[in-house]
Amino acid sequence: MAKRSKIPSMSSKKLIKLLEQAGAVFDREGRGDHIIYKREVGGKLLKAPVLESKKELPPEYSLMVFKQLGITDDEINKLVSP
């Protein structure tokens, strides 16, 4: 398994685009400024809240969302590499 690339700060819009590239889909509106995305991995349905309309999200936040949706380090590398 390869080491995970450094995740840059990104906007909510960019994070959502990456999640959709990884196979996550919009599930529903959450509370406040969150939307819920879902992804099926190994027969399990995983869900994660994603902040909406933020200009900059810290890398730690994006990593947390990726992990909640079962996105592996290899998948993260493919998504965030230039």
Name the residue ranges covered by the structural domains of the chain.
12-80
User: Where do we find the tokens 């685009």?
Assistant: 17
Which residues, at least 6 apart from 64, have a Cβ–Cβ distance to it below 8 Å?
none
Q: Which residues of the chain have pLDDT under 50?
A: none
The pLDDT of residue 44 is 96
What DSSP designation does 57 have?
B
The pLDDT of residue 34 is 93
What DSSP designation does 6 have?
P
Residues 28-51: pLDDT tens digits?
998 889 999 999 999 999 999 999
Q: What is the pTM of this model?
A: 0.92
CATH superfamily of 12-80: Hypothetical protein. (3.30.920.30)
